[in-house]
Structure 1
Amino acid sequence: MSEAGLELSPAELAQRIDTFWLGFREGEAELVRQPVREQVEKINEILEESLDGLALEMSAKDGDLQVDLIATAHGAKDRFPLLMDFVKRAPPLKHYTLTAFRARTESPDFPIRMDGFELATSEVLIGHAADEGQIGIEIMFAREVPGDMQDHARNMAFIMLDHVLGEYDFAVKVGFVEFVDAFSDEVLGSTPLDQFGAVLDKFWTNELGHTGLFPSGEHQWSVMNVVFGNGEDGDGEEDDGTGDEAIVTVNQSANAVAARPDLGHAIELRLPVDDHAALDRAREVQEQIATRLELQHAGILSHTVVRNGWRLANYYVGDLPAALSVVDTSLRGTSFTDVELSNAFDPSWSKYFNFAG
């Protein structure tokens, strides 16, 4: 990974972002008067040196003094937090309007031509199915594709999906992607790609139940016993192959806000529970944190895991520093001295769907 990679501290990344925008704003008046192609090349050359994996695209014509800037991570989810911070820290600009992520195209029926081969979105068929909280898709071509163009056509289909669904939705809401000669029995419907955006939205909300509406009242919970030891682990612990059993409690009501863009960070809080009294204290503290987050719709408790003498509580939040402050405040004055706290960017809620899917 480059020097500008993910290993840099948050403070170092913030400094690089601020330095980039300071230079951008100082040269803005001169930059906007250059041909669009030269603007794009110049700013991305500078951006690549300091913030690897991010890029800026432009929607403008030569001579325009008002330019739409689109910040993209080319669909790489591990760069999304950096991208969102990059946009959040941008200063007011006179000639440029900045947005995060490539948006869906307003004209999804389009062809693209690459290396002499042309393919239209109407010639790409999408079969969709549920995939552990996401939408899995199978792809077929509705026209003959020469054998030596198969890989090329598949690459073109990925580019089309990014434009039709938008960068964020394609990366976060879509699960498996498979190219097939015939749709499998799991497929629930077939749609030309140029019409698939509306199908995805409807399936996401109506069938998967991700309405985006924060649950009110008493949440619905389910309890299950899970035996680990088959090389799989859903609570963040390293699987030691011992076949130990865990009690998992899943907030089914949280499904409504699963993968919401403002709830993309997962916080795991582990507290030691050596006896029933400690288990009750851990439950009380972790539920108190949930209440504080949920009252402000700042986060939600998605599931808990009791395993190997620990009780894990997993929260999905938007403002990570603010949520960590809530956790810290709630732990003060408690008897817990051995505490494990971690966080990860998990916009597809994979930790949750390990158990709820």
Structure 2
Amino acid sequence: MSDDIEHDGANAGATPLGMQQITAFWRDFSSRLDGLEQLEPHEFVERAHEMLQPYAPELALEIEGSPKEPGARLIVTAHGNIDQFENVQALARHAPSLEHYEVRAFRSRSPGGDFAMRMDGFELSCSDVLVAHYDAGGIVGLELSFEKIIPQDMAEHARHMAFIMLDHVLGEWDFSVRVGPVEFVDAFSDSVAGAEPLSAFAPIFDAFQREDLGRTYEYPREGSGRWMSLEVRARDAGEDDPPDLLSFHDSANAVATRADFPYFLSWSLPFGDQDELDAVRDAQDALETELELRQRGILAFSRVEGMRSRTASFYVEDVEHATRLANELAAEYTPDLPGELTVAYDPSWREYLALYAAIHSRDADGGDDGDEGGRA
């Protein structure tokens, strides 16, 4: 029995690229690559960009290195527009094998991190921008200030340049996905750390993610996961309604925002009695096991709602693969139960980190966050 599938991606404003568009572009590009390689690098990029526009007008191609030189990379970028990141990854993922180039998604960090920009007659260097950071609910919040005096009529222009420089210092994925609020201030808040020049910020950013936010980006070892069980009561629940039971995979935080787990997949199955609940749990546990086997996804949390249904929510690498597995397991374990699968492109892990921030703010306030280790 096939489950209903709904795709309500976080990039709802972007039109997904179809395989026909992707294939047609790369066929066109490959056929004209010899001619592109005769051009200077900036002309190569301009022509490649023109070729891409009919197929993906919101995306661009850039080159790291020089055409045909060892280590040259073709970069698919959305210039930081996160609504288009799903299309960036799709275009890069389905690129053909090119003899002299590796095709990568997203602009890398600028080497060195210390550079200057000049726009409209105004110059700003990385050492002119000071950066402080803080935990903004599981992502990095930033406060920025200028080391040098900025003329009043250039203030907005300087801020725009600072954003561009941040993108180059951190790289497109880190700045767009792993950075949250950014605020320009005259004086830094007491709660922030750092206030270092932007030129020195990249290693500070990495260390803060690893040591303070717990983002090792290493998949949790089998049997080492930390789970938290909580009772959650909906706002509109009646006094006699049973609370929802939430099982939260706290250890999944280690891989939150990893670029290979951008899809949020929720699988809901109804049940009417204990036997059906056991079958639902077995089906969803089997999907968890299959995804963990080759580290192609991770269970983020599960929720038993009103003793009527159980929803298991995963972050996965390949939606088609995970959906196919879920349908096969539904046919095996719960053939008579009408399940529902929903899929969203959520590279920032907003669904997970909203719960993570709420749960750990209760920790900080001394609240009871429920039992550890249990699974509902």
TM-score, reference length from structure 2: 0.84
**Do structure 1's residue 341 and structure 2's residue 346 form an aligned pair?**
no
1:138 aligns with 143
Question: Residue type matched to 2:15 in 1?
Answer: E
1:116 aligns with 121
Could you tell me whether the CA contact under 8 Å between 2:226 and 2:251 is conserved in 1? yes
**Do structure 1's residue 7 and structure 2's residue 15 form an aligned pair?**
yes
1:320 aligns with 319
1 CA distance for matches of 2:68 and 2:214? 44
**Do structure 1's residue 151 and structure 2's residue 156 form an aligned pair?**
yes
1:224 aligns with 230
2:251 aligns with 253
Offset at 1:68?
A: 3.7
Cα shift readout 1:37-77 (whole Å, capped 9, x = no counterpart) = 3332222122111112110113456xx54454221111122
How has the CA–CA distance of structure 1 residues 182 and 267 changed in structure 2, closer, same or farther, with 3 Å as cutoff? same
Offset at 1:198?
A: 0.3
Between the aligned residues of both structures, percent identity stands at 40
**Do structure 1's residue 32 and structure 2's residue 31 form an aligned pair?**
no
2 CA distance for matches of 1:128 and 1:113? 26
Moved more, 303-312 or 151-160: 303-312
Offset at 1:189?
A: 2.5
Equivalences for residues 189-338 of structure 1 within 5 A: 189-216=194-221, 217-229=223-235, 245-308=243-306, 309-333=308-332, 334-338=334-338
Cα shift readout 1:75-111 (whole Å, capped 9, x = no counterpart) = 1223222212212222233454432211111121111
1 CA distance for matches of 2:24 and 2:199? 40
2 CA distance for matches of 1:209 and 1:186? 19
Whose RCO is larger (CA < 8 A, sep 6+)? Answer: 2
Equivalences for residues 87-126 of structure 1 within 5 A: 87-126=92-131
Could you tell me whether the CA contact under 8 Å between 1:209 and 1:256 is conserved in 2? yes
Offset at 1:279?
A: 2.8
Could you tell me whether the CA contact under 8 Å between 2:78 and 2:106 is conserved in 1? yes
How has the CA–CA distance of structure 1 residues 122 and 324 changed in structure 2, closer, same or farther, with 3 Å as cutoff? same
Cα shift readout 1:141-184 (whole Å, capped 9, x = no counterpart) = 11111111111111101100110000011111111111111222
Could you tell me whether the CA contact under 8 Å between 2:270 and 2:337 is conserved in 1? no
2 CA distance for matches of 1:134 and 1:177? 11
Report the aligned-residue RMSD.
Answer: 2.1
**Do structure 1's residue 71 and structure 2's residue 70 form an aligned pair?**
no
What is the number of equivalent residue pairs in this alignment? 337
Could you tell me whether the CA contact under 8 Å between 1:73 and 1:101 is conserved in 2? yes
1:232 aligns with none
**Do structure 1's residue 16 and structure 2's residue 14 form an aligned pair?**
no
What's the secondary structure of 1:209's corresponding residue? Answer: coil
1 CA distance for matches of 2:245 and 2:41? 58
What's the secondary structure of 2:268's corresponding residue? Answer: strand
2 CA distance for matches of 1:128 and 1:7? 34
Consecutive unaligned residues of structure 1, counting only runs of 5 or more, are 230-240
1:180 aligns with 185
Equivalences for residues 159-178 of structure 1 within 5 A: 159-178=164-183
2:49 aligns with 44
1:356 aligns with 356
2 CA distance for matches of 1:147 and 1:225? 53
Cα shift readout 1:303-332 (whole Å, capped 9, x = no counterpart) = 012225321111111122222222112111
1:236 aligns with none
